[in-house]
Structure 1
């Protein structure tokens, strides 16, 4: 993200009131997707594609007519898709239920349960896990008044299960000191699109490599951009859902993309990212492409995938905020190991000091330096206030963990005076 702007006035609303439109994403949009390789007659080092044309009388289109039925004239009932995080801490699960009427707030929804033994979150002899609805979004797939519901998971006794990271984040964001600072987040989610059968990046020759990095970042053209339809469909679907997605672009490695969510306030940032990931999973499912959040999907001289997190507090955004930012950087340097351990699996393969990353073993900061742990923008330095960018989180990070840690380390945690002085000297910070 270039900068963190003021959040919209709707950030607390989640779901706009039902409109007369019943629009949703349909399978027609995939008729022109160029994503499946024609394996016959492929010259070495080149890629050929075919268009997936659909006959208007096909079974697919007859099913599509049913999928796009507008229920509003016939019933007040809606479909709620309950979404939660599975046992790996990164996989998303969901199931549907009928709700008697449209809702506007999670408190109007019932709790539900699922078989935790089938998701790696409970033993078979005591497998019931309870879903608590926490945030709702409009459903871009079913349209109408139907909704997506972000949930977190608890035992029947009301204790958060180990993979429920939202619970701890909510505690941090409900602390009055944090509330008073109104923490804003802008999260840059990078991801890689893979071919289904070979799990090789989209647009790459099977078993081979494209030309070196350089022309692909924000590039256009059939030889530079692979998966634009998916990125654009995801962009519109997130806007439809009510997610504050702020932009998207092709990334440095071909077949890799990025979208930005924010500014989001507090716990909303984690909810928005998880919902946006779910929507992306569903779109790639329809497109027949595999979504990867691996922080280093291809070894060698290729960029990895991160989830850079832009962050500011009220004090940072006000006059004199640059000194507050430097104090926050000092705190982050002292808790570097704690943050790194929570910033995503496999991140050591990405944070090597190369390909626009800092080394995982050391902490650094700089103005306009993308090779540092923490980057401060030129405008922030010039204006004496603004935000910082934490470039350490991996693409598969848990946004509840990262956003909560940033708030905890910079607002709630206080180092000893001795540690603060030593860190300031090491980082050449005057706080």
Structure 2
């Protein structure tokens, strides 16, 4: 059974269009408030957001809905997604909310929810909330309407916590770091954390205006940071996305280091220190085959999951693992956070870099990636390309052709009308032929 509103990471869409409207946000908050307002006493919700202009609209609409449902609301303002997960738990909140469309352009927005333990909601909770949405009639009597408090110290609490995740024996004195905050949620917290730990910083993407989030900057557009690394002779570049739950690293030459190479460094570093639970890293089916082969040579197992950091976290919690992530740069370390945290992952990477004594260009070449090709194909909303016999036949043929030399992964995006066609193969000509053949077949529909 599919969900009507929830995707792989909350609810997302174009701001001002259903479901990202003020009207729907009020209804949603009342429904979620009813689901989480169980038991005696006052119930509280913590709300954070990134820097999109539409965040004001959704923040106020959600606040109205939650107070109408009898919940007390604590408004954090612009703050990274992982901070919302942490503060929800530390403030004994019943619920946490992050208003963000992550790496999407400014015209989109989204709503992510965290339970009282600071982790994202389960499928069961999302189904239950959608069922409540369908019934209506959420508001409580006037004598139990909630109160609203603006919590001005949330960013400072997150900075202080993030600093504690860097080993005490490690300082960043003498390091020159480019930090690109994507004009997003970490535009204050990330530069401040790195500077207070001793680094010389070159900040980029720290002037949000409501419309420039992820615009030519951040983890999805690291070219500007790469240029800055070279021009300033920096030791490293760190690029975050709009809500700062993912990271891309740039070595001292400005070369991009993706999440797979970052996870290779962190997993082996933790394994050597005896910190990697069950000597296992959790990653999605998108992670490169080269990563899996390398980890196996280090005595580390790789567990694969469906696409999306929530599925990585679910597998980590089920198996008692403490590190996982995605090639896109979501790095989850449950010793420190309940979701991906780009800044904390960056600090762990910096610790490994300092301890190794090697330049980043050496440390981040743990394995040679198997050639990988990803083609995103748009389709008309309402169509179901993957259910069509012609497309299914093309995929089956592609899987047969790549079976001995690589693999093929086809999936529908959980946030956009896209089919993602990804293949890996050491024969690049065959890889291109298979992936582009399937993509072109979808385009002709």
Bigger RCO of structures 1 and 2 (CA < 8 A, at least 6 apart): 1
> Common fold, TM-score beyond 0.5?
no
TM-score normalized by structure 1? 0.27
Higher percent of residues as helix: 2
